Structure formats: structure tokens, C-alpha cells
Structure 1
């Protein structure tokens, strides 16, 4: 039986005007469009699946085979998603965790139609400080383990529930980081101040089921810091660490450890980390949703990840290879 799936990416789906931070929206919108189109392209190749997607651009720029849907005049993002949810069997949604957006969308859609992590997992991982404390309590190495480490030369101040590198500043003196955090807190921001971990910036892409957390890929993050300390996220090299890299086994173990610590992770999720030269992987944050690393990942792996996510969501199982071959044909 054909399943109707609605794909919604917050900024490209109409949330751009409601985001409240034009500069952040401008920075995040191209990333959102690329994620949406990758999700849609995989879904339209999956068996027994019809796809609708929110598209507020001029004209229909969606991959061929998907129907574009748009909010009504003056319809809020949440009312739009609720209306489309009632017309579809499943909803696959991407939104920032900022201000509780992603968790609110999850509760708007409800568990029966939601493709993704639980509301509890989303709410926990939305807060960077809470996530690190939770993971540290479960034996995962985080920047908290570097508090008081004499080797720390820089500190980072960032929104506690931010997305990407928006409003993230790296400071060469702890006193400057404290001053930055104090100024922004006084202005009403909720911030995280952490030791800056030196090393290679990586991310893990995970496919989480009730039985397992499979590490799909190790990705290399491209991050730059300007002379004023402003951090920028410049993209990701997907599946950039080869099969013979000795870090693969410990990182796969780390992925399972994080998933055990946050059992509500389901579907596609990401872990941002830094590989420290002496101490190995240090988890920076967990993303309970599709990330930029989804773009191009199905092609890189020779798998249709959307078909696998659908199969797990509908049947609670991973697609066997022979069925997967039919699903991606």
C-alpha cells in the first residue's frame, strides 16, 4: 500500500519570515534547501511512496516526482504542518532546535506520523549544556572533561540551542569569553561557554533503530574562524574517512554509546565531535534530525537511506539487501 509522506524543512517551507533572525535565516536557508531536496530525491525512488514537500520558492524547484505544497495566507508554520500531517501517513521534518521549534513540531505531528527522534530526545539535545552533562554522566568524553586543563588555550561562546555556527565566537582568553557571555546573557541570550577543543572537526551520521545505532559515515566538517573570532560553518565532506582508518572502530563504538545514553534517538541523527590528538573523540553536540551530511550520503554509500528509514518506521526492521535493491531501483 502506497504511503503518503510529507517532507517539511522549516526555512524553505515558510518559516524563514518567522525565524526572528534574518542573518541566521540567510545563512541556514541554503543548507535547509539542500537537505530537503536530498530527502525528497531519496523518497521518490523508494517503493510504494508518494511524496509531498513544502516549497515556498517561486516555481516548483523540488526534485521530479514530488508534489509541492504551500501554506495558506497567514497560516502559521505549525498550523500548516498540522494540516498537512492530517493528509499524510508520515511526516519527515527538519527544523532548528532553537527556541524549542523541533520539539514543538514533533508534538504537533504526534508519534503516530513522526519519522524521527522522540520529543524527549529532541528536548534534551536542544540544550548544549544539558546534552554534555547528560553524556558525561554516561561516560562519554565531552569538553567538560577539559575543565581546568592547562593545555586549553581558547574558549568558545555559542547559543545553547543554536544551529550551525550562528552567533558562535572563539576567544583566546578565558576572561574575554566570560565577558562575551555576560554581555549576551544580559541581553537575554541563553549561552554555552566551553573549552575550545583543538583537533580535527568531524561528524558521525547515524541510522538509529530500536535495536541498533549504525554509524553510516564519518564526515569532515569545514570550519573557519575569522580574525574577530567569529566561527563559520563552511560545509561538510561526506563519508570522508576511509574504511581503513583506525578511528572507525572507536567512533562506531562511540555512536552506540551515545545512542544508549539517549534512547529516544531514532531514524537519522548526527554527532558533532572533535578528534583530539591525545585523548581521542570529544563529543560537542548531538543533532536529533537530518543534518547537512545527509546530502549525497545515499549515493556515497550506494544505499537509499530514506527507503531504510521508511522500512524501520513502518515495520520496525532494517530492509534486507534483496528488498533494498528493489526499493532503490
Structure 2
């Protein structure tokens, strides 16, 4: 049994924009490699320019001629493929790979939730709370919008092109600026939800659900309105939070068929009620922290979620917290048994 890890930044030639995402890309790919290699013959799709980043044998490398091009060429040679990519590339890649080889949500789920406006529409139909929102292409009248709002591309990843707008006179400017980050020319203008920014990490086979952890996200708002995702802390241990998160996760998975493997839910806790701001049908940055604590158990759980016959034993007693924060071009990762001590060590 063999597996390919294909990540968009690592497997394409470097560009000025992609270098800004390199630290997260490297952390996710290297974490995935560590948790899978104990169970399956694991390879990494890598552009030659990034070969020196990885201390792995040459036999573990597939040299890339481009993310999509290489998947078209090599995907049929693997039993399973882990895809990590921005929305439009993820949709295209998952269609090429096909559901039988995807180690994660199906193509149908990826297509539905990679674009934020489509994802919100599905969630509202199943009575999941999402921010009130409007889609703009640039020419619509914005006079009826109630401030403050978040402006972001429907097809972006992370916090690229995302802004907090408090003044009406700035709204059109930020819509125009955010549109520059959208490859399909659409942005969402959504109500700003006060609360705690968090996420949920889940593994499922479509029936059984393992809510791995609740996480805290570290979000910064600069004076110019730009919103920046800096990192987070994984493995919160709050029974009430877990119960509410499980209820939300079950509603989504049971109502929308095709979820499997690992996926993440970004949300805001407002008065301890969850508002979903995004469903990520792929490995997310929180995976890095989970891999630090769970190790190879994480890989085993993901393989089992797609009916792999892998044999392994899962540890039951999990201790500690992992924080990760981006400082310039590096992603700093820290483990600590004390939550408050970890927050202080991250200097946040």
C-alpha cells in the first residue's frame, strides 16, 4: 500500500506569493509524512527547488512538474493521495485523483465547501448558524450593508485578502482590494461576529465521528483593517465546548454525505454559540499541532477512515497542548503541559 502527499506550494515552482505560505506548507507536509510513514510507503510530491527542505530518502520523493500536471501523471500509481491546496486547485486536483484514491473528503464535498458562498448556502439549508452575508463582484450597491463587516474572497485560503471594515466610506475600497485576491472575481461581505475565534478538527468515515479537538485561533487585526491568521493552540479540554462542537459536527456530517478522513471547521464562539465561518475539506494548519501530540496514531486514524486494513493501536491518554504561531517566514511550534504557560510563551 502506498500514499502520495501532494501540496500546492511545495510541488510548484516558487513565486513571491507562494513563498509567504512556505512555512505552513512545509509544516503540514512534513507532519503528514511523519504520521503516515509508519504504516504505508509514503512519498512527497516536491518541486526540485524545495528538495533541500526535506531530510528524507530520495526514494520518498516524487519530483514535480507542477501540482496539477504531476497529479495527472502520477495519481494512478498510488493507493491513496493526500491533497493540500487552495480552493480552486483543490477542486481540480480532487477531480483528477477521484474519490477512490482521496484520503479525505470526496470531490463532491470539496467542490461544495471550497467556495465560501456555496458552503454558506449548504450550511444555512441544514440550520447551521453562519454570518449574514452578501456576494459582490464589484458593481453592486453596498449602501444597505450594516457595519462592521468582514470582506474576503470566496476562493481564498487562510486570511489572504480578508479585511475588517468599520467605516462605510472604506467599504468599496476594501471590496475592490479583496477582489484582487479572487481568481473568479467574487467576494463575500459578511457580518462581523464578536467572539472567540476557534476551529474543530474531525476525522470521520461518514458514520462514526471522532472529534479530535477544539482549537483556539490567533487572529490579528491591524490598524489598516487587514486580518491576519497568526496561528493557534490545539487540544482544548472543555466538556461543554466538546459537547456543542460534537452536536454541530454531527449535524453537518449526517446532513451532507461525502465527509470522510480529516477536515476542519472554522468558527466563532459568540456567547458560546458556534457560528461557522468556513468548512475546510482538507488538512489544515491545526494538523501540525495534532501530529505533534498524536504522532503516528493520527495517520492510523485517517487511514482507517477510508476503510484501509491498516493495523494499529491508539493511545487513549493524551496530555499537553501545542501552540503554533507564524513569525515572519517561520512557523514556530511549541509544546507545553500548561495552557496558560503556552499562551505566554507564544507572546500573545
Aligned partner of 1:286 among 279, 289, 293: 279
Matched ranges for 1:297-308 at <5 A? 297-301=290-294, 304-308=297-301
What TM-score results when the alignment is normalised by the length of structure 1?
0.83
Matched ranges for 1:271-282 at <5 A? 271-277=265-271, 280-282=273-275
CA contact (8 A) 2:264 2:283 kept: yes
Tell me the equivalent position of 1:313.
306
Tell me the equivalent position of 1:180.
174
Tell me the equivalent position of 2:142.
none
Q: CA deviation at 1:193?
A: 0.4
User: Does residue 1:33 correspond to 2:26, yes or no?
Assistant: yes
Tell me the equivalent position of 2:7.
9
* Structure 2 SS opposite 1:82: helix
Provide Cα deviations, 1:26-74, integer angstroms capped at 9, x if missing partner.
332211111011000001122xx11110223454433546712212xxx
Can you give the 5+ residue segments of structure 2 that lack an aligned partner in the other structure?
Answer: 135-145, 316-348
Could you tell me how far apart the structure 2 residues matched to 1:106 and 1:253 are? 28
Provide Cα deviations, 1:278-317, integer angstroms capped at 9, x if missing partner.
x6111101000000000031342466111121123234x8
CA contact (8 A) 2:199 2:215 kept: yes
Tell me the equivalent position of 1:247.
241
Tell me the equivalent position of 1:108.
96
Q: CA deviation at 1:228?
A: 0.3
Q: CA deviation at 1:79?
A: 2.1
Q: CA deviation at 1:145?
A: 8.8
CA contact (8 A) 1:41 1:63 kept: no
Alignment RMSD (CA, Å): 2.6
Aligned partner of 1:220 among 195, 203, 216: 216
Tell me the equivalent position of 1:149.
none
CA contact (8 A) 1:204 1:215 kept: yes
Could you tell me how far apart the structure 1 residues matched to 2:2 and 2:265 are? 29
CA contact (8 A) 1:8 1:92 kept: yes
Tell me the equivalent position of 2:79.
89
Provide Cα deviations, 1:203-232, integer angstroms capped at 9, x if missing partner.
000102121232111111011011000011
Evaluate the alpha carbon distance shift between residue 63 and residue 208 of structure 1 in structure 2; reply closer, same or farther with a 3 A threshold: farther
User: Does residue 1:42 correspond to 2:35, yes or no?
Assistant: yes
CA contact (8 A) 2:11 2:66 kept: no
Aligned residues: 300
Could you tell me how far apart the structure 1 residues matched to 2:295 and 2:101 are? 27
What TM-score results when the alignment is normalised by the length of structure 2?
0.79
Q: CA deviation at 1:191?
A: 0.3
* Structure 2 SS opposite 1:269: strand
Could you tell me how far apart the structure 2 residues matched to 1:294 and 1:52 are? 18
* Structure 2 SS opposite 1:234: strand
Matched ranges for 1:250-265 at <5 A? 250-265=244-259
Could you tell me how far apart the structure 1 residues matched to 2:8 and 2:154 are? 20
Tell me the equivalent position of 1:61.
53
Matched ranges for 1:149-228 at <5 A? 154-174=148-168, 176-181=170-175, 189-228=185-224
Evaluate the alpha carbon distance shift between residue 106 and residue 183 of structure 1 in structure 2; reply closer, same or farther with a 3 A threshold: closer
CA contact (8 A) 1:212 1:256 kept: no
CA contact (8 A) 1:155 1:173 kept: no
Question: 33-42 or 119-128: which moved more?
Answer: 119-128
